[in-house]
Structure 1
Amino acid sequence: MSIYLTAMKNYLEQQNSLNSSKPKALILVAGATGGAQEGFQALERLRESYEIIVVASQAALDLYGEENLKSLTGTAKIYQGKEFKIYDFLKVVTIVFLPVVSSNLVGKLAHGIYDEPLASLIFHAKLAGKPVIGVVDGALPDGDGFKSRGFTNPPPGLVKLINENIEKLRAQEIYLYKGKTILEKLSPYLGPQTAETSVVSSKTGVTLNKRVITREDLLELANQTITVSQKTIITDLAREYAVQNNIKINFAE
């Protein structure tokens, strides 16, 4: 396909999304898994009231896979941000939401580095006066995001730097919260919760009722068989841990 036709295709897809009668929410997905369970559940709630536009970083696409991200976000199109050279579309966006946030993205924003699409979109969203809210767990040095990669004891200086970066973002009115509080923080933007979208994470025997399974969820399940939903996303680290620890994963019919 020619460059011209590709550009026209991207433009028409954007216009179709922006012309919906629903208010718009811009969803930015970074390459992190910490807080993903709560973050993507909150996104399900947002989808009840908003037409969503989803942009994922390359790290997020590598981590989750494009098809898995489409399932998690409930959208048929995942943008990479390169399509949005003109930021006028932000005028029709009501809220910017990050279901997962990485320490790399936090560091860039804290120091005014907008050299990649997610950081640039957040910068322009703030220029347009839009609220930016995210789940911070994946960027926390003592959170599951670091632990799942084997970094259980980061040096104090690094912990201090990351925490200072997070505070710098909050000073810029980029509001980052822990996953366990995100629905409460998003409540001004959400409609009433329905039974259909009420999700409770639980473990009953070896059945895991979660949308995203990370390595942390499998730590005490060696040599067992677990059952998950057909729509459950299993991270690469979780799959690797399952193989190493003789954990068999069954997908419910």
Structure 2
Amino acid sequence: MTEQEIERIIRRVLAEFGLPARRPRALVLFTGALLGFDDSLAALRRLTDAVQLDWTRTPSAERILDEQRIADVGMTPAADSLTTAHDLLIVPTATVNLFAKVAHGIGDCLASNLMAEFIMSNRPVIAVVDGACPDSEAKRGWFPNMPAAYQAMLHRNLEMIRSFGVTLTPATLLDEAVLGHISPGRSPASEKPAKEELRLVTQATVALAPEGSTLGIAPRAIVTDLARDLAHKRNITFQQRS
């Protein structure tokens, strides 16, 4: 029995007897994507009561992101033990470069090695895709003329990352995705679309949903043509909720 399995058993026993459990401890790894930074910080603030957050950053994040704003969230700078002491990994500003490396088994930097180690030890990894998904509104705003073949390559990397068990989420839903992993009976936000009533479904909405899933939509929901095309390719269906 692994240490993680023992930890889960202890949490269940404590919950059954109404005793307070240890707050899960998450390592927050900032990489160099600026897209989604503001929304990720807001989501991390909403998590501070439920999760012990320790943070670190890559050299590119140190150059690009505002460290004072990160510090203002109230997280603790991570100690040297970046993997053994943490229950899960949160990547709030994941880059195209990071996803490409991890998708192809390349571990040649702090971020790719950390993410790979959490994946290989079967611990939860939650990553924000605003800076790496070609369908995200922010990414399309920066690169409106991205070639279709390049978009397809980015999609393949995201699919590979998702197949490793990584939860991919937009920055605005980061806290929901994290809580889905630490709260009993609660599903990660990116894995519970059928329970929601979406009123607007874009290509980005479909890109972030698990392949083969069902998206619950409102009776008068607007579904864009690009969203329908991508849903067909990824075997995603729409279910109208009354």
Which portions of structure 1, spanning 4 or more consecutive aligned residues, are displaced by more than 6 angstroms? none
Instruction: Report the equivalent of 1:108.
Output: 101
For residues 45 and 180 of structure 1, do their structure 2 counterparts lie closer, same or farther at Cα, with a shift above 3 Å needed?
closer
The alignment status of 1:23 with 2:24, answered yes or no, reads: yes
- TM-score, normalised to structure 1, is 0.57
Per-residue deviation, residues 154-207 of structure 1 (Å, max 9, x unmatched)? 11111000010000000011111223443433333467xxxxxxxxxxxxxxxx
Residues 129 and 170, structure 2, Cα contact 8 Å, conserved in 1: yes
Secondary structure at the counterpart of residue 93 of structure 2? coil
Q: Which has the higher contact order (CA 8 A, sep 6+)?
A: 1
Instruction: Report the equivalent of 2:180.
Output: 188
CA root-mean-square deviation:
2.4
Residues 96 and 125, structure 1, Cα contact 8 Å, conserved in 2: yes
**How many pairs are equivalent?**
162
After TM superposition, give the deviation of residue 147 of structure 1 in Å: 4.8
Task: Structure 1 unaligned segments of length 5 or more: list them.
Answer: 1-20, 192-253
Distance 1:188 1:175 in 2: 10
Task: Structure 2 unaligned segments of length 5 or more: list them.
Answer: 1-21, 184-242
After TM superposition, give the deviation of residue 25 of structure 1 in Å: 0.7
Calculate percent identity across the aligned residue pairs: 26
Instruction: Report the equivalent of 1:60.
Output: 61
The alignment status of 1:121 with 2:122, answered yes or no, reads: no
Distance 1:56 1:138 in 2: 16
Residues 31 and 100, structure 1, Cα contact 8 Å, conserved in 2: yes
Residues 88 and 124, structure 2, Cα contact 8 Å, conserved in 1: yes
After TM superposition, give the deviation of residue 38 of structure 1 in Å: 2.9
Distance 1:114 1:145 in 2: 28
For residues 47 and 184 of structure 1, do their structure 2 counterparts lie closer, same or farther at Cα, with a shift above 3 Å needed?
closer
For residues 177 and 31 of structure 1, do their structure 2 counterparts lie closer, same or farther at Cα, with a shift above 3 Å needed?
same
Q: After the TM superposition, which residues 16-165 of structure 1 pair with which residues of structure 2 at under 5 Å, given as runs? A: 22-71=23-72, 73-75=73-75, 77=77, 84=80, 90-147=83-140, 150-165=142-157
- TM-score, normalised to structure 2, is 0.59
